[in-house]
Amino acid sequence: MRADLHTHSIFSDGELIPAELVRRAVALGHDAIAITDHVDMTNVEFVVRNVVKAAELTSDEIQVIPGVEITHVPPSKMDKVIADARRFGAQIVVVHGETVTEPVAKGTDMAAVKNPDVDVLGHPGFITEEEAQIAKDNDVALEITGRGGHNITNGHVVNMARLVGAKMVIDSDTHAPDNLMDEASARKVALGAGMTQSETELAINVTPFDIIRRL
């Protein structure tokens, strides 16, 4: 089983049209993939309405889920963009967290975890214990990422999640064809982040599918 809840297509800065992205995921053994292109208040309607069409690619081989990654939105505007994304048809909402490799506005992690309509806080950087606790309380999963650069703080995110009992998922944050991860690669990311075997099993085979089932 493999579900990737954080990928990008040509509707933002990904290299692949949705059909090829999905086909490549099938070839790697995925059971589900969410297409979560970057949005802010200017493009959320355009992106979501187009990514929703990708759900037509769902087949016996894979479930395709339309979503968004809300990216570099000022924390004070976050709730509105989340609501708009849901209104236009996003079924998975990822928020671009405070990665150490980009100048994400301080307060983004907190704004994301406070909103129970967020499914995943992507690459949350040096997330605090308080923020991780709120994520747990609001059932927001913390992402352990396979993406280079963003993965610098994976170990810290695991430690904060473990401290408070927050849920974790392992996503690729795919932008290019070779970014997609099969299950073996996802397990390597988990091992590199210091996750235990039981934490890894939950992050790969349980939590993503729990998120999908509540759609």
Q: In this structure, what CATH number is given to the domain that contains residue 125?
A: 3.20.20.140
- Please report how many Cα atoms fall inside a 13 Å half-sphere around the Cα of residue 170, on the Cβ side: 31
- Give how many domains the chain has, as a whole number: 1
Instruction: Calculate mean pLDDT across residues 30-39.
Output: 98
Q: What share of the chain is helix, strand, coil (3-state, %, to 5)?
A: 45, 20, 35
Instruction: Calculate mean pLDDT across residues 13-24.
Output: 98
pLDDT score recorded for residue 165: 98
- What six digits make up the tokens of 80? 């509105």
Q: What is the CA radius of gyration of the chain?
A: 15
Question: Which helix H or strand E contains 86, and what residues bound it?
Answer: helix 78-88
Would you say the pTM of this structure is higher than 0.95?
Answer: yes
pLDDT score recorded for residue 51: 98
Instruction: Calculate mean pLDDT across residues 34-51.
Output: 98
Q: Which domain holds residue 57?
A: 3-213
Helix, strand, or coil here: 169?
strand
Q: What percentage of the chain reaches a pLDDT higher than 70?
A: 100
Distance from C-alpha of 8 to C-alpha of 128, rounded to nearest angstrom: 27
